[in-house]
Amino acid sequence: MLQDFSSVTLREARPSVVATERLTLRRPTLADVRTIVLLANDRRVAENTRRLPHPYSQDDAIAFIRASALPDGETVFLIEHDSGPIGMVGIDCSTPDSAELGYWLGVEHWGRGFATEAARGAIDFFFEEFEDDHLYAGARVTNPASRNVLEKCGFQWSGVQLHRFLALGSSTPVDCFRLSRGVWASLKSWSSARRVR
């Protein structure tokens, strides 16, 4: 099953790699499926991520990687630390003028600043590669750690909405945030992210 979708196709579709001080953000390939499943198949991760089902299967990971490899697919990066995957970060541009940042880490990597660092790398990539003036994000109101990540990245709170979470099978309140290009430019002092070609 893994053989029928070439990882060369994935690399050709989007060749970018973003490097931060401790992390490498790169496109996921089918070689990453087992590791992604190990990291994502935790209810604590799924309950804080809108689109992750629980349980999370190999088929879910394959479908996700295939979708992200499409020319009009969302921009997705596998987060690596010390050459090992620890989570995912991405930008969903499927709704015009409403690009949204999303991220998750395997539980054993929580609380070490990796989410903030990965988010900053993805934000830099977004504002350097796309012309949008705003980037949006959200965090469950019961997830203060994720709200902290967004605030450290310059996002400003814009209200609360109900969003459906696949793993919960229901809607739950989400704090909504917005980051403008101007605020991002003024905070660019974090500048530890760089593009690798």
For 54-87, the pLDDT digits (tens) are: 999 999 999 999 999 888 778 999 999 998 999 9
User: Where is average pLDDT lowest: 20-29, 42-51, 64-73, 108-117?
Assistant: 64-73
pLDDT of the residue at 11? 36
- Quickly state the pLDDT bin for 190 (edges 50, 70, 90): low
Residues 6+ apart with CB under 8 A from 194: 18, 19
Asked if pLDDT for residue 192 goes beyond 90, the answer is no
Residue 51 CB-half CA count within 13 A: 14
